[in-house]
């Protein structure tokens, strides 16, 4: 019997990925609230029982899809914290990566954010992701000369405000158009530069 090569995805892995892909496709045409587990199973070519083998509910599938979607954003945020480039360039890189993620997965991110209050796992994932980005923003602000202290104008407090401003701005722009996303990225970059006392 041929053995599966180490690292190669199993049939189960591939089926799980297919389910998540199908969920993403369905969300483009149907709201999450209107979507059923049967809809996902049928589109994926599975029985309802087979679907439950992988995910016990559509909520659990959404959590898995969102986790997969934000992983690259988390990695890019960690990289931004360690970016040795000048603050201006580090900010431009971070905003470009954030924009690209929203361009590619804006729908999934909006749906997940909308469901965060009803699905605690999504809320926790998004908060953890935001904290990683806040760490990066803080590091860049400190390198730009912003004082690091506990007051409302300290680097971390300002970084939190910048992070959630970026999230809301991209959330709304991604529902409008790719051009709106590009403009949102430029605006958020300008705000971040001004917070860092760097002329745009």
CA 132 to chain centre: 11
Domain 9-56 CATH superfamily: Homeodomain-like (1.10.10.60)
The pLDDT-based confidence of 15 (bands split at 50, 70, 90) is confident
In order of 8, 48, 124, 129, the CA distances from 67 in angstroms are: 21, 23, 11, 10
Question: What phi and psi, each to the nearest 5 degrees, are found at residue 154?
Answer: -75, 160
Q: Are 77 and 137 in contact (CB under 8 A)?
A: no
pLDDT for position 105: 94
Average pLDDT in the chain: 91
Does position 5 have pLDDT exceeding 70, yes or no?
Answer: no
The pLDDT-based confidence of 3 (bands split at 50, 70, 90) is very low
Average pLDDT over residues 155-168: 98
pLDDT for position 12: 62
Length of the chain as a residue count: 200
What pTM did the predictor assign? Answer: 0.88
Q: Is 66-195 a domain of CATH 1.10.357.10?
A: yes
Domain residue ranges in the chain: 9-56, 66-195
The pLDDT-based confidence of 7 (bands split at 50, 70, 90) is low
Q: How does pLDDT run across 98-151, given as a tens digit for each residue?
A: 999 999 999 999 999 999 999 999 999 999 999 999 999 999 999 999 999 999
Q: How does pLDDT run across 55-93, given as a tens digit for each residue?
A: 999 999 999 999 999 998 889 888 888 889 999 999 999
Measured torsion, CA atoms of residues 125, 128, 130, 133, in degrees rounded to the nearest 10: -130
């Amino acid at each position: 019997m041929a053995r599966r090569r180490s690292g190669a995805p199993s049939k189960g892995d591939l089926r799980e990925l297919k389910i998540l892909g199908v969920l993403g496709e369905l969300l483009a045409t149907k709201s999450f609230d209107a979507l059923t587990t049967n809809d996902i199973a049928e589109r994926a070519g599975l029985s309802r029982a087979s679907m439950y083998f992988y995910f016990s509910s559509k909520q659990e599938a959404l959590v898995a899809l969102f986790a997969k979607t934000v992983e690259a954003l988390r990695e890019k945020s960690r990289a931004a914290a360690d970016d040795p480039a000048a603050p201006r360039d580090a900010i431009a890189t971070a905003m470009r990566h954030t924009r690209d993620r929203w361009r590619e997965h804006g729908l999934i991110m909006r749906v997940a954010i909308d469901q965060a209050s009803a699905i605690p796992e999504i809320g926790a994932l998004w908060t953890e992701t935001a904290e990683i980005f806040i760490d990066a923003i803080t590091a860049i602000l400190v390198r730009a000369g912003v004082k690091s202290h506990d007051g409302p104008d300290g680097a971390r407090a300002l970084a939190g405000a910048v992070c959630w401003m970026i999230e809301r701005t991209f959330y709304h722009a991604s529902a409008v158009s790719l051009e709106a996303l590009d403009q949102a990225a430029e605006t958020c970059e300008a705000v971040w530069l001004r917070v860092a006392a760097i002329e745009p």
